[in-house]
Amino acid sequence: MKLLLIFLLTLSLYADHDGKKEHQLSKDLSYLELSSEQKERVKGILKQYRVDVKAFREFKEKMENQKESLLTRDVLKEEDLQAINQAINQKGSTIESRFLLQMHTLLNSEQRQKFAQNLEEWEVE
């Protein structure tokens, strides 16, 4: 029984592996082998990104509360729901685009290739 449990646990750890060279920590950029100058610039970019994402999460929560409020009304308009969803998506997209443009400018072509393989880590949700 223990062997079966160990086997299943091991299998589940490797089942998600898709052949990409992975790094250990989420949002860890050590695999990019940044220069000292790049590291300093990345620190500033990441600091701003974290601030923006925190503000986005607060904004999204506020918008979700508005959506809940709409659902309690006697009449619900599709346009109102779409406006809320679009506002959330627009703000998230803007933050993500700004971050990716800054990283693109900073990285060389080899680093961009590596960074692009882990792009899903940086999606604003």
Q: pLDDT 10s digit of each residue in the chain, 125 long? A: 555 556 555 555 555 444 444 433 357 788 899 999 999 999 999 999 999 999 999 999 999 999 999 999 999 999 999 999 999 999 999 999 999 999 999 999 999 999 998 888 888 88
- Residue from 63, 65, 119, 115 nearest 91 by CA: 63
Q: What is the Cα–Cα distance from 122 to 99, expressed in whole angstroms?
A: 9
Q: Which amino acid type is present at position 9?
A: L
- Output the CA torsion 43→30→94→63 (10° steps): -90
Would you kindly state where each structural domain of the chain is located, as residue ranges?
32-122
Global confidence as pTM: 0.72
Distances from the Cα of 27 to the Cα of 64, 94, 111, 118, angstroms: 27, 19, 14, 9
- Which pLDDT value is given to residue 7? 54
Q: Which helix (H) or strand (E) holds 21?
A: none
Taken in order 108, 113, 116, 117, the sign of the CA dihedral is negative
